[in-house]
């Protein structure tokens, strides 16, 4: 059981709700009489000893903000045992007895290595818009990002309809198609291309041409970046169909913005859970949501297993297209 202090950090790509989660960790620990330190700029800050003590006021005016007040950065040095030992020593000299990590697969993998090598208690929270952490159906920020994409689709539909165009929308998801699939279904896309599912470009173009010949005014195709470049696909679609085609690559706008109510609430609930768990002596666990309930997943299972895309989403996208 922790008696003095814990630390909290955000790592990897930022996601809306990270601030809400960190805020909950800090205020819960302080409520329990435990000191809290914030590690700035992820693992780089741990190695560089960029660590500051946090108060309740440190996390005020944050719950509505996207990004992460602690910052995040890549750190090649932490990928080495020597770098991890250096970071661990910086925690120990402050009396820090446990660490809460908010981040995605890569960040949690770094935490698992640190735990194995040093014995430092680690509790993880899944902070990633990709919703690709094994053992759970929700990660912090995925709801806000999906809503951002749907808002963009709504606007792009207006101009596509006005010009009778095909519109390809490229979204994030190098290895996971969850964002594309959810936003595509919710946005009424005709096609959703994801890295997990093979697609026939010739067949798709044939169907698009037939729909336009029958009077259709526009088509929306959502493309996860891991399924191919929307720019390249757009050129092929226009060439094969003869229909005016445009491409919109949404990029990092998907990471930003004020978190939705769902992301704020779930991040806050997970932050409290993580703080109480680490204080009680729990370690090597990642807390997330599954079917509406908080679940705890073994840290090593979470980083060593690959989450798959729900086939029901794939089926539904085809039915409703």
Same domain, 58 and 178: no
**pLDDT given at position 229:** 97
Same domain, 10 and 86: yes
Q: Could you tell me the pLDDT band of residue 302, with boundaries at 50, 70 and 90?
A: very high
Same domain, 45 and 172: no
Q: The tokens 């050129």 sit on which residue?
A: 235
Q: Per the domain annotation, does 107 fall within a domain?
A: yes
Is the pLDDT score of 276 beyond 90? yes
209 known ligand binder:
no
Same domain, 57 and 71: yes
Work out the mean pLDDT of the chain and round it to a whole number: 96
Is the pLDDT score of 321 beyond 90? no
Same domain, 130 and 164: no
Q: Residue 200: which domain range? A: 144-255
Q: Could you tell me the pLDDT band of residue 1, with boundaries at 50, 70 and 90?
A: confident
Same domain, 95 and 38: yes
**pLDDT given at position 3:** 81
Q: Any idea what the CATH number is for the domain that residue 189 is in?
A: 3.40.50.460
Same domain, 235 and 202: yes
Q: Could you tell me the pLDDT band of residue 207, with boundaries at 50, 70 and 90?
A: very high
In sequence order, what are the residues at sequence separation of 6 or more whose Cβ sits closer than 8 angstroms to the Cβ of residue 216?
none
Q: Per the domain annotation, does 317 fall within a domain?
A: no
Question: What is the percentage of the chain residues whose pLDDT exceeds 70?
Answer: 100
Is the pLDDT score of 266 beyond 90? yes
Is the pLDDT score of 147 beyond 90? yes
For the record, the structure tokens of 285 come out as 């666990």
- Quick one: which of 21, 246, 207 has its CA closest to 127? 21
Question: What is the percentage of the chain residues whose pLDDT exceeds 90?
Answer: 98
Q: Per the domain annotation, does 296 fall within a domain?
A: yes
Same domain, 248 and 276: no
Q: Per the domain annotation, does 50 fall within a domain?
A: yes
Same domain, 291 and 198: no
Burial per residue of 237-271, b for 16 or more beta-carbon CB atoms within 10 angstroms, e otherwise: bbebbebebbbbbbeeebbebebbebbbebbbbbb
Q: Per the domain annotation, does 311 fall within a domain?
A: no
Q: Per the domain annotation, does 309 fall within a domain?
A: no
Number of domains in the chain: 2
130 catalytic, yes or no?
Answer: yes
**pLDDT given at position 2:** 81
Phi, psi of 285 (to 5 degrees): -140, 145
3 state DSSP class of 293: strand
157 known ligand binder:
yes
Q: Any idea what the CATH number is for the domain that residue 26 is in?
A: 3.40.50.450
Is the pLDDT score of 109 beyond 90? yes
Secondary structure element (H or E) that encloses residue 245, with its range: strand 245-249
> pLDDT tens digit string along 113-136?
999 999 999 999 999 999 999 999
Of 236, 255, 274, the residue that ends a domain is 255
Same domain, 111 and 178: no
Q: What is the dihedral of CA 291, 288, 252, 74, to 10 degrees?
A: -160
Same domain, 131 and 41: yes
User: In terms of residues, how long is the chain?
Assistant: 321
253 known ligand binder:
yes
- As a whole number, mean pLDDT of residues 283-301 equals 96
17 known ligand binder:
no
Same domain, 39 and 19: yes
190 known ligand binder:
yes
Question: Which of 14, 130, 132, 143 is an active site residue?
Answer: 130
């Amino acid at each position: 059981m922790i008696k003095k202090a814990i630390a909290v950090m955000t790592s990897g790509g930022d996601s809306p709700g990270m601030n809400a989660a960190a805020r909950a960790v800090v205020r819960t620990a302080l409520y329990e009489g435990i000191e809290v330190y914030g590690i700035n700029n992820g693992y780089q800050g741990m190695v560089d000893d960029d660590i500051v003590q946090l108060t309740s006021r440190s996390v005020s005016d944050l719950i509505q903000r996207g990004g992460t007040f602690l910052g995040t950065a890549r750190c090649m040095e932490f990928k080495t045992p020597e770098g991890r030992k250096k970071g661990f020593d910086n925690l120990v000299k402050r009396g820090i007895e446990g660490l809460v990590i908010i981040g995605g697969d890569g960040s949690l993998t770094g935490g698992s290595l640190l735990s194995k090598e040093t014995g430092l208690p680690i509790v993880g929270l899944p902070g990633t818009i990709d919703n690709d952490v094994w053992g759970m159906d929700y990660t912090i920020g995925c709801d806000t990002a999906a809503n951002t994409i749907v808002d963009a689709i709504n606007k792009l539909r207006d101009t596509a309809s006005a010009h009778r165009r095909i519109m390809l929308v490229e979204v994030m998801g190098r290895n996971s198609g969850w964002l594309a699939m959810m936003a595509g279904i919710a946005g009424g896309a005709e096609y959703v291309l994801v890295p997990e599912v093979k697609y026939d470009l010739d067949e798709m173009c044939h169907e698009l041409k037939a729909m336009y010949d029958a009077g259709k005014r526009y088509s929306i195709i959502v493309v996860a970046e891991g399924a191919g470049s929307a720019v390249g696909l757009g050129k092929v679609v226009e060439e094969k169909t003869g229909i005016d085609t445009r491409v919109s690559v949404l990029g990092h706008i998907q990471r930003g913005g004020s978190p939705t109510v769902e992301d704020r609430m779930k991040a806050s609930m997970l932050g409290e859970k993580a703080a109480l768990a680490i204080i009680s002596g729990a370690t090597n666990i990642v807390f997330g949501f599954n079917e509406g309930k908080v679940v705890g997943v073994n840290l090593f299972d979470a980083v060593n297993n690959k989450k798959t895309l729900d086939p029901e989403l794939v089926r539904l996208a085809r039915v409703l297209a």
